Amino acid sequence: MCNNCNPRFMAFMRAYGGRRDTLRRIGAGMLFTGLPGLSGAGALAQAAPATPAAAAAGPADTIFLARRFHTMAARRQQAQALAVRDGRIAAVGSRTEVMGLKGSGTQVIDLGDLTVLPGFVDPHMHSNFCGLRPWLDVGPFTTRDMEQARRKIAQAAGAARAGEWVQAKMLDPSLMPGKPLTRRDLDAIAPQVPVFVLESNGHVAYVNSKAIELAQVTKDTPDPPQARFGRDADGELNGRLDEPPAFQPFVSVLPKPSHSEFVGFLRADLDDAAARGCTALHDCGIGGLYAEGDIALIEAAMKTDPGVRYAGMLVSTHMKKWREMGLRPGELAPRFTLNGIKAWSDGSNQGGTGYQRQPYLGGSNRGALNYKPEEIEQVVREAHGEGWQLGIHANGDAAIDVTLDAFERGTRGAGGHQLRHRIEHCSILHDEQIARMKKLGISPSFLIGHVHFWGRAFRDRLLGPARADRLDPCHSALKGGLRISLHSDYNVTPIDPLRCVQNAVLRDMREGGGVLNPAERITPMQALRAVTIDAAWQCHLDHLCGSLEPGKAADLVVLEKDPLTVAPDAIQSIKIHSTWLDGRRRHAA
């Protein structure tokens, strides 16, 4: 699930980030440079042209040689050499063809037996949670079980200096075997150091006695509205906090990052993405935390010249503000484009809030819509009418129905062909919905980690096998003529396109083994397209990246092994040799 669609959690993040006005000032000079006042619509309209100029003639700056280039282009899918001039691809082809561009100053880089692909594109991630970056990760992607989480916390408490907190994140007792955390446990491993542990869903946290003392909460403190301090039978606090309003007294005494620290955290997230082979990221919730402050933070981080380009969607809830600011689809700053509006139709399937046609197992709950259908339709009508792409989060099959209705009516049947409207996650998807998407020109971006990490929970505990089989049906979507992409929804799962590829190829379930509907597995080539050219297309970046073709940016990932020839279960462990943006090396193993 996106924590962006959990308003209370976002309130927690805002409180943790401190004063909104100061956050807004991060990079504010950059945000408003070139915008005459807040209504300078013209300034953005004059941004750099969307289509790259053809590379000028003359010798190449760099020529790469390698045994295999998988170009992901429609023509010439294999090559052995690639020439770069002024950061753009000047030629791709055989050694003989490309070496014709070698001049006296050309650097030739022989990559030997390595494999080169277009830099990966993560088409759906979030910058909003970069503030949690320095927190200790005790979540299921890095931590085996609850016992190991306890050990990590104990170790951090042992290393903490006087006055420091242990702040831990991503705990997920639903995926991690072992006993739940209690105040007593935490007191035993951290008697002196205050501890705050956040679950990955953003709804639950745990604290120890030292934290309770600093927050000045006692057994006599009443529960905040719509939230609870967990209590033992005798009323004493047990250290569990349910819902973000109960986190508030603790958040107000937690150390808060400074502006420059925030920029550093986001920059470090971008560096991590480059280390996983990404050269482009697409943020599906800009503005969800600090409205225009989010844009300013991204601009400030992009000004530090990271190894990835950045694009994204603005949250629909601030439409009026975006209009006042004169924001339009297009380039906002070098390597940073805005192209869409993001809305959330429902919640999370694993959280029981995704909106389903039939109830979840064992009850009458069908989840819920976040908006009335006519309100979603209105969001579509406005954004579509103003030329924005739309990305609508829809997890349950009934939410997908409502979203498709909204696209059909809100665009007066025009659909998404020009603007490439998307459904985000599009998790429980039936064949007749795929046919409607095809007709309307709407494409899905799948959070494929759902299958691997939560597949068993969906099948056995939440939806039953028939509906779980329809989770992220990549094969059916491709068969139905849709272009698909695979995303991390970072920080829901780590940014790691090769892991996404492996998950789509295998559909193996981490919990208990087994395969979730083998008929929906796709080939490594199909999955690679979903993290390169088709992802770039969905992000309106395909004129610039996503395939290795003359005129496009020289955005490359160099892999130690070829994902098309290794065993499928070895794809995610292929080492990233290096990542190149605009022909410059930006990450090296």
Q: In this structure, are residues 123 and 583 in contact, taking their beta carbons and an 8 Å threshold?
A: no
Q: Please tell me whether residue 154 binds Zn ion under the rule CB under 5 A.
A: no
Query: Among residue numbers 314 through 333, which ones bind Zn ion (CB under 5 A)?
Result: none
Cβ proximity to Zn ion: between 2 and 246 the closer is 2
Q: Which residues contact 270 (CB under 8 A, 6 or more apart)?
A: 281, 301, 306, 307, 308, 310
Cβ proximity to Zn ion: between 299 and 489 the closer is 489
Report the C-alpha gap between 507 and 492 in whole angstroms.
18
3 state SS of 233: coil
- Of 81-89, 181-189, 398-406, 483-491, the window that binds Zn ion (rule: CB under 5 A) is 483-491
To Zn ion, the closest distance from the beta carbon of 285 in angstroms equals 6
To Zn ion, the closest distance from the beta carbon of 504 in angstroms equals 18
Cβ proximity to Zn ion: between 286 and 319 the closer is 286
Phi, psi of 531 (to 5 degrees): -120, 10
Cβ proximity to Zn ion: between 472 and 555 the closer is 472
Q: Which residues contact 492 (CB under 8 A, 6 or more apart)?
A: 1, 2, 3, 200, 447, 449
Helix (H) or strand (E) segment spanning residue 473? none
C-beta neighbour count of 159 within 10 angstroms: 10
Q: Please tell me whether residue 489 binds Zn ion under the rule CB under 5 A.
A: yes
The count of chain residues that interact with Zn ion, using the rule CB under 5 A, is 4
- Of 392-400, 411-419, 509-517, 571-579, the window that binds Zn ion (rule: CB under 5 A) is 392-400
Q: Please tell me whether residue 2 binds Zn ion under the rule CB under 5 A.
A: yes
To Zn ion, the closest distance from the beta carbon of 425 in angstroms equals 5
- Of 25-33, 258-266, 281-289, 299-307, the window that binds Zn ion (rule: CB under 5 A) is 281-289
Q: Please tell me whether residue 13 binds Zn ion under the rule CB under 5 A.
A: no
Cβ proximity to Zn ion: between 315 and 548 the closer is 315
State the burial class of residue 409 (Cβ atoms within 10 Å of its Cβ: 0-12, 13-18, 19+): middle
Cβ proximity to Zn ion: between 284 and 506 the closer is 284
Query: Among residue numbers 118 through 147, which ones bind Zn ion (CB under 5 A)?
Result: none
To Zn ion, the closest distance from the beta carbon of 479 in angstroms equals 25
Query: What are the Cα distances from residue 4, in Å, to 44, 300, 490?
Result: 27, 21, 11
Q: Please tell me whether residue 404 binds Zn ion under the rule CB under 5 A.
A: no
Q: Which of 68, 282, 393, 467 binds Zn ion (CB under 5 A)?
A: 393
Report the C-alpha gap between 207 and 199 in whole angstroms.
12
3 state SS of 438: helix
Report the C-alpha gap between 520 and 476 in whole angstroms.
7
Q: Please identify which residue in the block is written with the tokens 């929970």.
A: 457
Cβ proximity to Zn ion: between 80 and 316 the closer is 316
To Zn ion, the closest distance from the beta carbon of 391 in angstroms equals 9
Cβ proximity to Zn ion: between 489 and 549 the closer is 489
- Of 276-284, 288-296, 502-510, 565-573, the window that binds Zn ion (rule: CB under 5 A) is 276-284
One character per residue 431-470, x = contact with Zn ion (rule: CB under 5 A): ----------------------------------------
Q: Omega of the bond prior to 491 within 30 degrees of 0, cis? A: yes
517, two tokens: 């509907």
To Zn ion, the closest distance from the beta carbon of 124 in angstroms equals 6
C-beta neighbour count of 232 within 10 angstroms: 13
To Zn ion, the closest distance from the beta carbon of 346 in angstroms equals 9
Sign of the C-alpha dihedral computed for residues 147, 2, 417 and 387 taken in this order? negative
**Which residue is closest to Zn ion by CB?**
2
C-beta neighbour count of 508 within 10 angstroms: 18
- Of 331-339, 465-473, 486-494, 504-512, the window that binds Zn ion (rule: CB under 5 A) is 486-494
Query: Which residues would be at the binding site for Zn ion (CB under 5 A)?
Result: 2, 284, 393, 489
